[in-house]
Amino acid sequence: MKLLVIGSGAREHAIAWKLRQSQQTELLYTAPGNGGTAQLGTNLSISATDVTGLLEAAHQHKVDLTFVGPEAALASGVVDRFQQNGKSIFGPTVAAAQIESSKAFAKEFMARHGIPTAQGVAFDSFAEAQRFLQGRDGPIVVKADGLAAGKGVTVAHSRAEALAALDACMNRQAFGEAGATVVLEEFMEGREVSVFAFTDGLRLSPLVAACDYKRAFEDDQGPNTGGMGSYSPPELWSEELTKEAEEKVFRPAIDGLAKEGKPYRGVLYGGMMLTKEGMKVVEFNARLGDPEAQVILPRLRSDLVEIAGAIAEGDLSRASVEWMPLACVGVVMASQGYPDSYTTGYPIYGLQGVEGQALLFHHGTMPANRASPMSGGVATSGGRVLTVVGCAPTLAQAREKAYAALQRVGFQSAFYRKDIALRAI
């Protein structure tokens, strides 16, 4: 088969790596891809949201199956357009992906279907939101309705902080259109776990869980990032929690979307908070997580081409989905200054040195031909640059492997968190 992966991060490199392992894979394209995906196949310089360009490329290269990585591609309608044109594609339609792309939709959907989540109210008027805040004190969460690259959420510890976040969203358009509607939400306390299932809209695969680290520095200090590390499985994840997630969250979500005429095909990601009152949904996402994909895909015993193909055809029963009892720890190596401003173009050394020791997935890297001629290899081109993943029978061994490999690879101005999976052990 000829396959196309849409996206350019380490998540997409991990997806491409896993698809490459299938006997069925003949040619692999990634659009736009990165320095890592270039080593697995051909990068096409088409943006992940250029739906027309992607469809043309899929026709031109006779692509049999397309796998969508990022939420922006889903929201731009790539799945709908491919389906209308008879092209097989893995991922939810725009209507089903609203579970991620509109927090107001997700909130109301969860209420309609009795899915446990924080109490929340949506507002499209600043004055009304402000009035709502007047009656309360203590922490409250302010969320921009639309996609804001993970930056649209403020956990406000006081009314003043909440008002400032509201003002930034609604009056000063900090997130553009995405902040025109805002959800004000009850603050929840507990451990957070990312839970994933493959689904064809009817059937659910066995669930798999991971934890990620959003803050830039150790001990959860510093600004929020796209993710600085992850591990799977979480030490506290159990049969009971799996059952609770399936019965209270995933099953009602899939059935609810189908009943509302938006059958969901793809991978559903539930961001869960384990509160004193039980498991509650923080948010749904319509895709694999980044950096969670980098630690769960190595645990997938099954053939990802088979799974994606079966789901694209609407029949997951044709594929098996099996997770290995393996521990994986992923550490992100980033450019000094990220998530704010940083310098790129530095040659990366030691990429070959970790082969056989750890897995290495690229985020912001440039393939050799675009890197500086001096480097003779791959250079940095983004804030997050690499995810290094160690896999072993125990989390402690996996962690050791990841950090040992991190000693061998690097670039000028690299930094990474030293405490990924540390407290889990």
- The residue ranges that bind ligand AMP (CB under 6 A) are 118, 141, 150, 153, 155, 185-188, 192, 271, 282-283
Residue at shortest CB range from ligand AMP: 283
110-117: long-range contacts at Cβ-Cβ below 8 A with a sequence spacing of 24 or more? 110/253, 110/281, 112/256, 113/252, 113/253, 113/255, 113/256, 114/252, 115/248, 115/249, 115/252, 115/253, 115/256, 115/281, 116/248, 116/249, 116/277, 116/278, 116/279, 116/280, 116/281, 117/280, 117/281, 117/282
Among 92, 146, 233, 289, binds ligand GLY (CB under 6 A): 289
Q: Where are the alpha helices (DSSP H) in 143-289?
A: 159-170, 239-245, 251-259
Nearer to ligand GLY, 105 or 411 (CB): 105
Q: In whole angstroms, give the CA distance from residue 194 to residue 288.
A: 10
Nearer to ligand GLY, 285 or 335 (CB): 285
Q: Interacting stretch for ligand GLY, rule CB under 6 A, among 91-99, 289-297, 322-330, 417-425?
A: 289-297
Nearer to ligand AMP, 159 or 408 (CB): 159
Binding partner of residue 7 among ligand GLY, ligand AMP, none, CB cut-off 5 to 8 Å per kind: none
Among 35, 92, 152, 227, binds ligand GLY (CB under 6 A): 227
Total residues belonging to the chain = 425
Q: What is the largest CA-CA distance in the chain?
A: 62
Among 12, 64, 185, 290, binds ligand GLY (CB under 6 A): 290
Closest separation in Å from C-beta 260 to ligand AMP: 21
Site string for ligand GLY, 81-120 (x = CB under 6 A): ----------------------------------------
Q: Does residue 252 have a cis bond before it (omega within 30 degrees)? A: no
With residues binned 3-state (H G I as helix, E B as strand, rest as coil), the percentages for the chain, rounded to 5, are 35, 30, 40
Nearer to ligand GLY, 64 or 290 (CB): 290
Closest separation in Å from C-beta 179 to ligand GLY: 18
Q: Which residue has the tokens 């985020």?
A: 363
Structure tokens at 310: 């079966």
Q: In whole angstroms, give the CA distance from residue 201 to residue 315.
A: 9
Nearer to ligand AMP, 37 or 285 (CB): 285
Binding partner of residue 282 among ligand GLY, ligand AMP, none, CB cut-off 5 to 8 Å per kind: ligand AMP
Positions touching ligand GLY (CB under 6 A) are 150, 212, 227, 285, 289-290, 292
